[in-house]
């Protein structure tokens, strides 16, 4: 798996709760910071107080090998109770030229919800690139290990997604 191939990862879970309940949780951008091993805190920017296409939020991340950094995300898709998607940009220039251009995002993230019986099928996905990120820096330092670096990062993202989805499921089903 190479970075130029646009590596992606997704996880899904069945939640024994209706779509409106699950939707309320996945569109609360602060919630993943309580569940994710990497994301530490999140806040809406520019007076936004909820998800709307074009709204932005900042996220603060921490990683044992990468340190701490801030990102700015842009909501790019919002289909009420079905799809919530955003792209992550490097507005501070941690990995190269600062950019707030969604077309040059470090990653794209998405929640998709679908009614399934009495509950909800919840899917979370992430696509790396096309913009610069910690992965591109690592690959530039060790091009001979690109596939290993990308595979390792995908494994980390999958583990974080699983933790987040388990937490959302527990909250939606009334288990804390």
CA distance 155 to 144: 19
Look up the domain containing 25 and give its range: 3-172
Report strand pairing: 67-79 vs 56-63. Answer: antiparallel
* pLDDT (tens digit per residue) in 34-82: 988 889 999 999 888 889 999 999 999 998 877 889 999 999 999 999 9
Q: For residue 91, which of 64, 63, 69, 61 has the smallest C-alpha distance?
A: 69
pTM of the complete model:
0.93
- CB of 151 closer than 8 Å to CB of 125: no
Percent of the chain with pLDDT over 90: 79
CATH of the domain at 42: 3.30.530.20
Distance of alpha carbon 153 from alpha carbon 151, whole angstroms: 5
Q: Tell me the C-alpha distance between 111 and 124, whole Å.
A: 5
Q: How many domains does the chain contain in total? A: 1
Cβ(81)–Cβ(19) below 8 Å: yes
> Which pLDDT value is given to residue 4?
81
Q: In what order do the strands lie in the sheet with 39-44?
A: 8-15, 119-128, 107-116, 83-89, 67-79, 56-63, 39-44
Residues 131/106, Cβ–Cβ less than 8 Å: yes
* Beta pairing partners, 9: 126
Residue 75 contacts residue 53 (beta carbons within 8 Å): yes
């Amino acid at each position: 798996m190479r970075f130029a191939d646009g590596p992606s990862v997704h996880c899904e879970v069945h939640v024994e709760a209706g779509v409106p309940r699950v939707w309320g949780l996945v569109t609360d951008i602060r919630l993943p910071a309580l569940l994710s091993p990497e994301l530490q805190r999140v806040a809406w920017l520019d007076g936004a107080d909820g998800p709307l296409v074009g709204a932005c939020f900042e996220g603060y991340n921490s990683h044992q090998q990468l340190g701490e950094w801030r990102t700015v995300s842009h909501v790019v898709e919002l289909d009420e109770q079905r799809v919530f998607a955003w792209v992550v940009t490097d507005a501070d220039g941690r990995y190269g030229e600062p950019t707030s251009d969604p077309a040059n995002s470090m990653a794209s993230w998405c929640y998709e919800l679908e009614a399934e019986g009495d509950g909800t099928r919840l899917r979370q996905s992430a696509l790396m690139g096309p913009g610069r990120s910690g992965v591109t820096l690592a690959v530039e330092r060790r091009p001979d290990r690109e596939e290993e670096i990308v595979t390792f990062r995908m494994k980390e993202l999958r583990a974080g997604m699983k933790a987040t989805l388990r937490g959302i499921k527990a909250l939606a089903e009334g288990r804390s």
